[in-house]
Amino acid sequence: MNMAKRFEDKVVVVTGGSEGIGLATAKLFAAEGARVYVSGRRADKLEQAVREIGNGAVGVPGDAAKLDDLDRLYARVQADHGRLDVLFANAGTASTEAKPLGMIGEEDFDGLFNLNVRGLLFSVQKALPLMSQGGAIVLNGSVAGVKGFPGQSLYNASKAAVRSFARSWTADLKERGIRVNVVAPGGTETRLMRDYLEARPGMEDVLKQVVPLGRLGEPDEIGRAVLFLASAESSYIAGVELFVDGGSVAV
């Protein structure tokens, strides 16, 4: 297998692809020959991302929590190629403010679950008519889905839902040979993570102490795991949650 061109002429969609893990992953797909489509809520950041991705990448502005925006994204892919080979359902959010039980408001729940759960579900469901036989879907989860981080129960639960979706959808899509897997990052050097750490002085040192590799991950490291799960190299892997976390869950 030519490792440099595993996705030659494959059509790939990355939601939330204008920064962080999504952008890093989109760049890796494009470098391996994919025809990449990225979505994002901010048009200016999306335009910049498309320039960085290069290789003919296409940006479609939109919010993954809004069904009309998802329809517009997939209509563009349909018009251009009539198929979709890989979906990285990456769009998601987190709160930098701790909200322990007793302090959670309706707006807190809606903000997290509308994007992390509802948006992810419909990002996948609306892609299905375009998905090729034997295609691949990778969902962006988190180590939070198996942990009980204090003050983050909404985020933790939203990522546990992502892991559950992968199990169920693997069964739902088996007749079409579409594999569904989860990449579960640990602490990763993104804007969201940096905002979280800056709001909590000393937390970065604590985090590094509980990670056996002693550091935060880089977006590219998550992206390489996504490409593995989306490629033919993982052809007998389905319904799994791959932790890319420096060993923090396993050790």
Task: Enumerate the active-site residues.
Answer: 155
Q: Which residue shows structure tokens 């009539």?
A: 82
55: left (phi over 0), alpha (psi -120 to 50) or beta: left
Quickly count: other Cβ atoms within 10 Å of residue 102's Cβ: 5
> In which order are the strands placed within the sheet that holds 84-89?
58-61, 35-40, 11-14, 84-89, 131-140, 179-185, 241-244
Number of C-alpha atoms within 13 angstroms, CB side, residue 233? 15
Distance from C-alpha of 96 to C-alpha of 104, rounded to nearest angstrom: 14
Query: For residues 173 and 125, is the Cβ–Cβ distance under 8 A?
Result: no
DSSP notation for 168-204: HHHHHTGGGT-EEEEEEE-SB-SHHHHHHHHTSTTHH
Quickly count: other Cβ atoms within 10 Å of residue 136's Cβ: 27
